[in-house]
Copies of this chain bind each other. A is one copy, B any other.
Amino acid sequence: MSIRKPRPTQSERATLADIAARVGVSSITVSRAINTPQLVSEELRTQIASVIADIGYIPNRAARALARARSDSVAVLIPSLSNTVFTDVLAGARDVLHAHGYRTLIGDTRYSPAEEENLFRAYLEHSPDGVLLTGFDQTPLIRQLLEKSRMPVVHMMELAGPDSYCVGLNQFDAGHAMASHLLSRGYRRIGFLGAQLDPRVMQRLYGYRSALQEAGLPFAAGEILDATPSSIGLGVDMLGRLLRQAPDCDALFCCNDDLALGVLFESRRRDIRVPEQLAVAGFNDLAASAWVSPSLTTIATPRYNIGHAAATMLLQRMRGETPAASNIDLGFSLRVREST
């Protein structure tokens, strides 16, 4: 009769069986008291509840996930955790998911599809019940894995064809709208500053170009495109570059408010009057934009609502329901302020 060493256990933590033993029932009854209390008699329920409170029982999610073959978790991949745009989206998604008992596995892809692939594969090991992704530029492997696992997925921020589920806004239209606004204000030599150059920035750029073209204006007059991450400092720098390239520029559409704020600050340093000498427009309507002086004309995007609606749609899909619409366009709104 050989004595085996006991295997490692979750360091003294009480289990369902411990509770069960104390109450004098079987563990499945305790499990029911927790998960489907209506199936357990009032008397046992209260007894069990008191022992649970007494012992300080903490269920083991890993065991539950293994037994039920679902994890009650959702992976959410966003390009950056240090950009309010995406933390707002995340807040909306988390509020919905947490309220429905899901945990979120948050991944920061750093705007890199390769990193997104790494994170996605890593999170797959946790068997998330669904995924929220940003945009549509996933690697082929991700697409293949998604298809193979038939895991519900909802894309955020951009729109696409009816064969994929997404919640976002038309970035092309938004870029077009801002360029049209500048044109309607009488500006004719409108430059563009683009950083990061992720798909959404590119769509805004194309919208801008198309508006200029429709107005019969040279379509790449003063474009500065730089793939490095957006920042206020980069905006400062890019204004210099643009003025060297197109000194006669009278308006500037920045692909986001970070760049635009940098342009505003640098304009003040260079004594360029905004909007008299140079109009400045941004994108996203960050907190600073309404308060900076001159206040910044920009496009407000419904970020929290995008996260909220995307998570809601994902919930439906995880429940096996078919959402009323596969594409939800939450739009954008032009905020005209002092800078134009």
Contacts and interface: CB of A to CB of B under 8 A. Distances in A.
A246 to B, nearest CB: 22
A127 B105 CA distance: 15
A61 B66 CA distance: 9
A125 B61 contact: yes
Interface in A238-285: 258, 261-262, 265-266, 268-269
A315 interface: no
A236 B10 contact: no
Interface residues of A, number: 59
A252 B61 CA distance: 50
Contacts of A265: 288, 291-293
Contact of A62 (B103, B126, B148, B288): B126
Nearest to A235: B291
Nearest to A269: B293
A16 interface: no
A71 B69 CA distance: 17
A59 B126 CA distance: 9
B84 A91 contact: no
Contacts of A145: 56
Contact of A82 (B68, B88, B122, B149): B88
A87 interface: yes
Nearest to A72: B125
Interface string A76-119: 00000110100110110010000000011110100000000000
Interface in A30-79: 56, 58-63, 65-66, 68-71
A27 interface: no
A20 to B, nearest CB: 18
A220 to B, nearest CB: 28
A273 B150 CA distance: 61
A13 interface: yes
17 contacts: A8-B69, A11-B149, A59-B125, A60-B125, A62-B66, A62-B126, A82-B88, A103-B122, A104-B106, A106-B106, A233-B290, A233-B291, A258-B287, A261-B288, A265-B288, A269-B293, A288-B288
Given A61-B126, A261-B291, 18 more contacts: A8-B68, A8-B69, A8-B70, A10-B127, A11-B69, A13-B127, A13-B149, A56-B145, A58-B121, A61-B125, A62-B62, A62-B65, A82-B84, A103-B105, A103-B126, A231-B287, A232-B287, A288-B288
